[in-house]
């Protein structure tokens, strides 16, 4: 027994968490929202979901093939982008637009910046904003609640009931209306320790508080407006994207606070009806700076010691 | 005391803690390297054909920071050979063939120590080095102005998975430990001793508390610490036992502490009370490929192959053989390697145990940043290292990294973070050397 054995650097064991495992958990956490969307908007909602996932994975595979990079689709992040993008779109969206949006998300936002981990902004969000700008009308019709909130003076009468808002029984993007389903996904992500509570809680809390003051201290209306539109979907699943959100707890709080405030500013005072995507996109861009500001203190002072 | 530092919950796998410790029968042959410590390798003092007995000196310390080496079995020196260390460096080694007697050198005798000078004099001839892993000569570590020592911190944390040899030492060698504490208290005027032991070792904590009650020379306290890796890291341990923070590039003595591993302490006790230098080690032999995992008392220089045979052999070809624990241990290139002075465990891990996930690009999950006990940002260090940006590396305090491996352990992208930190520190070392040359 004098064979040579394997030499490697420590540590020699691992927690077992993997990139693909995390992405799988995100996919699972989005299942309730996808199911709810299908129930609410009919089985045709499955078409954009399928097209976006297939297109995203396909484009990433194709890109890697063309530029001769190692294949990365097995890390499941392209599938996550596809599903998230679809959940942000209306059920009746023309499928060719889904394909174009996927192409933009995967190739322009992600692959051209070096693939997973390299992108500066969230691919699904950016593609959604791109589609809003490029295909204007179609996309806007997907966001009736935000459109109402932005275009006319707010009034609770125009909003669905709290129960309908909670169950998602109103118009909007496939995955954004059913608050219950989104909360189930949030709990799953927390239990699996994929994300921490900071970003979703602070984001949603900020929107609620701002709205509460804005509508004149009417809690029911503030809650309705917070549940309506894309706040929950954005706060739980888009703003928590690892690549484009800060690492430390304080960084996450600042990020979420900024995103919540911007969402409200755009919603209530801006020209665009859809605040969430723009707000997250903007905070994505600030993330590297937030990361620098909020770095942990090194034990015993580090360099300065 | 302030906050508890971050750490990780590794699997414990301390299956050998309850199994009886067995003494290995004399191996047929031992290969004893001259470099088993930090500092200059010892110089062999025996020649081929000499007969030696256990405890007899076979290697003389070469200079101040060095340590003598002793025969671990009785028999005949059959070869002076070259030995390849895990670092790749070569060193001399003495090969002894056993006469089967395990006869002990007659001239060994107890050492009375009364002050710093006599203690250091005695320990210089003990062959004792830091047994927790580092292998720093103990007589050098203890050779400090006694007035500077506020605390003697005893490391019984044993936070690495699998390893239980320190625990066994605390359970079975209480007398040696007490003897050493009394001697150190007398010689160095130490007033306060703190044991740091992880709270998953209840029996060891009880045993040390009992032992502590018997000591009148100084105040001995036993602190149960959360079982959170890397509790036994020197700076982590000192902070959690005394509340004192050791800064970058500083030593425990800079904050009034001396840290000794509990097994080192036991070895000091044995040596002072009987004169027997360091010739054997209690080693945890573990891992999925080992048939009978257990703690074995082994003569230093025994080959790992013989050690595995003693433990019933290997059940399958191990993926890796490791000196020490799976978090910071070093892979061994061949089962012919020997048990060294600072070997506290030998692991033969199966493919399944040593499985690492697929390496992907960093997904910026922040786990490494949120896990590092020292608040370092491995992800930022990796970026700075890629760019070769030494200024940024300095600003990120990379020299503070203790290479505990928590960051790599949690990284879902399986990035080689510890390795990058080591390389970054190397980069800064080289830069400093260049600057010194210029100056
Ligand atoms: S843990 Fe790994 S994947 Fe996560 S930020 Fe650190 S280096 Fe990147
Ligand atoms: S950066 Fe260094 S000290 Fe921090 S977790 Fe990684 S190895 Fe440990």
H runs (alpha helix) in A42-168? 46-66, 77-87, 95-103, 123-134, 136-140, 144-151, 162-167
Question: pLDDT tens digits, residue range B149-199?
Answer: 999 999 999 999 999 999 999 999 999 999 999 999 999 999 999 999 999
Q: Are A11 and B5 inside 8 Å of each other by CB?
A: no
pLDDT (0 to 100) of residue B18: 81
- Global pTM? 0.91
Question: pLDDT tens digits, residue range B272-318?
Answer: 999 999 999 999 999 999 999 999 999 999 999 999 999 999 999 99
Matching residue, tokens 């020196």: B77
Question: pLDDT tens digits, residue range B95-125?
Answer: 999 999 999 999 999 999 989 999 999 999 9
pLDDT (0 to 100) of residue A145: 44
Which class for A137: exposed (0-12), middle (13-18), buried (19 or more C-beta within 10 A)? Answer: exposed
Q: What gap in Å lies between CA A66 and CA A71, rounded to an integer?
A: 11
| Total of domains in chain A | 1
Q: What gap in Å lies between CA A89 and CA A49, rounded to an integer?
A: 9
What's the CA dihedral at A228, A232, A237, A241 to 10 degrees?
100
pLDDT (0 to 100) of residue B11: 87
CA–CA min distance A144, chain B (Å): 34
Name the residue ranges covered by the structural domains of chain B.
Answer: 1-23+105-351, 367-438
Ligand 1 in reach of B368 Cβ (< 6 A): yes
Q: What gap in Å lies between CA B326 and CA B342, rounded to an integer?
A: 16
pLDDT (0 to 100) of residue B309: 95
pLDDT (0 to 100) of residue B132: 82
Which residue in the set B319, B328, B363 is minimally distant from A116, CB to CB? B363
A173: in domain:
yes
Q: Nearest ligand to the C-alpha of residue B328?
A: 2
A118: in domain:
yes
Ligand 1 in reach of B411 Cβ (< 6 A): yes
- Please choose, from the candidates B28, B10, B21, B8, the residue with its C-alpha nearest in 3D space to the C-alpha of residue B72: B28
A32: in domain:
yes
Ligand 2 in reach of B71 Cβ (< 6 A): no
pLDDT (0 to 100) of residue B439: 75
Q: Which of residues 36-95 of B touch A (CB under 8 A)?
A: none
The alpha carbon of B7 and the centre of ligand 2 are apart by a number of angstroms equal to 10
Is residue B14 over pLDDT 50?
yes
pLDDT (0 to 100) of residue A1: 44
* Mean per-residue pLDDT, B327-355: 93
Q: Which of residues 389-418 of B touch A (CB under 8 A)?
A: 394-395, 397, 400, 403, 405, 408-410, 412-414, 416, 418
CA triple B389-B393-B398, angle to 5 deg: 155
A7: in domain:
no
pLDDT (0 to 100) of residue B426: 94
Question: What is the extent of the structural domain holding A232?
Answer: 20-294
pLDDT (0 to 100) of residue A304: 53
Ligand 1 in reach of B313 Cβ (< 6 A): no
Q: Domain of A254: which CATH number?
A: 1.10.3430
Picking from B31, B161, B248 by the largest number of A CB atoms within 10 A of its own CB, the best residue to mutate is B248
Question: pLDDT tens digits, residue range B188-209?
Answer: 999 999 999 999 999 999 999 9
Q: Which of residues 346-365 of B touch A (CB under 8 A)?
A: 349, 353-358, 360-365
A190: in domain:
yes
A5: in domain:
no
Q: Which of residues 85-104 of A touch B (CB under 8 A)?
A: none
CB-defined contacts A:B, below 8 A: 182
Class of domain B1-23+105-351: alpha beta
A2: in domain:
no
pLDDT (0 to 100) of residue A156: 43
| Per-residue pLDDT in tens (0 to 9) along chain A, 305 residues | 446 678 889 999 999 999 999 999 999 999 999 999 999 999 999 999 999 999 999 999 999 999 999 999 999 999 999 999 999 999 999 999 999 999 999 999 999 999 999 999 999 999 999 998 888 755 444 444 444 343 333 344 478 899 999 999 988 899 999 999 999 999 999 999 999 999 999 999 999 999 999 999 999 999 999 999 899 999 999 999 999 999 999 999 999 999 999 999 999 998 776 689 999 999 999 999 999 999 999 998 876 54
Matching residue, tokens 């959170």: B228
Least confident of B4-18, B267-281, B386-400, B402-416: B4-18
pLDDT (0 to 100) of residue B87: 87
A15: in domain:
no
pLDDT (0 to 100) of residue B26: 86
The alpha carbon of B366 and the centre of ligand 2 are apart by a number of angstroms equal to 13
Question: pLDDT tens digits, residue range B20-69?
Answer: 889 998 899 999 999 999 999 999 999 999 999 999 999 999 988 999 99
Backbone CA torsion sign across A239, A244, A246, A251: negative
């Amino acid at each position: 027994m004098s064979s040579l054995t394997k030499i490697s650097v420590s540590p020699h064991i691992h927690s077992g968490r993997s990139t693909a495992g995390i992405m799988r958990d995100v996919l699972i956490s989005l299942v309730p929202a996808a199911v709810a969307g299908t129930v609410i908007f009919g089985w045709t909602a499955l078409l954009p979901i399928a097209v976006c996932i297939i297109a995203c994975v396909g484009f990433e595979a194709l890109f890697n093939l063309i530029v001769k990079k190692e294949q990365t689709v097995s890390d499941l992040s392209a599938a996550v982008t596809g599903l998230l993008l679809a959940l942000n779109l209306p059920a009746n969206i023309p499928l060719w637009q889904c394909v174009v949006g996927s192409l933009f998300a995967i190739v322009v936002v992600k692959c051209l910046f070096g693939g997973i981990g390299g992108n500066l902004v969230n691919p699904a969000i950016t593609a959604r904003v791109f589609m809003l700008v490029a295909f204007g009308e179609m996309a806007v019709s997907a966001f009736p609640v935000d459109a109402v909130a932005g275009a006319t003076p707010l009034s609770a009468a125009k909003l669905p009931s709290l129960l309908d808002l909670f169950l998602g029984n109103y118009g909007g993007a496939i995955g954004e209306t059913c608050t219950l389903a989104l909360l189930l996904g949030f709990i799953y992500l927390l239990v699996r320790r994929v994300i921490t509570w900071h970003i979703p809680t602070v984001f949603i809390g900020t929107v609620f508080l701002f709205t509460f003051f804005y509508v004149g201290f009417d809690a029911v209306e503030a809650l309705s407006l917070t549940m309506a539109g894309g706040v929950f979907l954005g706060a739980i699943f888009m703003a928590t994207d690892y690549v484009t959100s800060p690492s430390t707890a304080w960084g996450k709080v600042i990020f979420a606070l900024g995103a919540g405030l911007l969402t409200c500013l755009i919603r209530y005072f801006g020209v665009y009806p859809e605040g969430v995507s723009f707000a997250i996109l903007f905070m994505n861009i600030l993330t590297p700076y937030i990361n620098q500001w909020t770095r942990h203190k090194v034990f015993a002072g580090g360099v300065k010691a | 005391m302030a906050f508890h530092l971050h750490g990780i919950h590794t699997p414990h796998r301390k299956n050998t803690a309850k199994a009886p410790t067995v003494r290995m029968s004399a191996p047929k042959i031992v290969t004893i390297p001259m470099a088993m410590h930090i500092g200059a390798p010892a110089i062999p003092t025996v020649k081929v054909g000499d007969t030696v007995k256990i405890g007899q000196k076979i290697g003389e310390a070469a200079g101040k920071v060095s340590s003598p080496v002793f025969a671990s079995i009785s028999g005949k020196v059959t070869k002076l050979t070259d030995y390849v260390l895990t670092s790749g460096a070569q060193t001399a080694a003495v090969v002894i063939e056993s006469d089967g007697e395990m006869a002990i050198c007659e001239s060994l005798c107890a050492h009375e120590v009364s002050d710093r000078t006599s203690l250091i004099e005695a320990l210089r001839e003990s062959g004792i080095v830091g047994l927790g892993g580092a292998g720093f000569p103990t007589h050098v570590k203890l050779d400090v102005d006694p007035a500077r020592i506020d605390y003697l911190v005893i490391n019984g944390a044993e936070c690495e998975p699998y390893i239980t040899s320190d625990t066994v030492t605390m359970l079975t060698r209480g007398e040696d430990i007490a003897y050493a504490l009394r001697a150190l208290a007398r010689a160095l005027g130490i007033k306060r001793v703190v044991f740091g032991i992880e709270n998953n070792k209840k029996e060891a904590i009880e045993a040390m508390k009992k032992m502590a009650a018997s000591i009148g020379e100084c105040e001995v306290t036993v602190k149960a610490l959360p079982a959170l890796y890397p509790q036994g890291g020197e700076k982590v341990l000192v902070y959690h036992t005394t509340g004192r923070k050791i800064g970058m590039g500083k030593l425990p003595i800079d904050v009034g502490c001396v840290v000794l591993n509990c097994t080192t302490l036991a070895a000091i006790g044995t040596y002072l009370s009987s004169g027997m230098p360091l010739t054997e080690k209690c080693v945890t032999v573990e891992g999925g490929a080992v048939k009978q995992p257990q703690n074995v008392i082994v003569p230093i220089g025994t080959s790992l192959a013989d050690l595995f045979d003693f433990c019933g052999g290997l059940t399958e070809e191990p993926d890796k053989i490791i000196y020490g624990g799976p978090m910071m241990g070093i892979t061994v290139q061949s089962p012919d390697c020997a048990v060294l002075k600072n070997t506290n465990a030998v692991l033969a891990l199966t493919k399944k145990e040593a499985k690492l996930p697929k390496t992907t690009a960093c997904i910026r999950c922040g786990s490494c940043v949120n896990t590092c006990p020292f608040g370092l940002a491995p992800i930022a260090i990796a970026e700075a290292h890629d760019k070769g940006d030494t200024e940024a590396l300095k600003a990120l305090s990379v020299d503070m990294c203790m290479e505990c491996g928590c960051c790599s352990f949690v990284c879902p992208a399986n990035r080689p973070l510890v390795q990058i930190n080591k390389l970054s520190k190397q980069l800064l070392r080289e830069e400093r050397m260049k600057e010194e040359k210029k100056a």
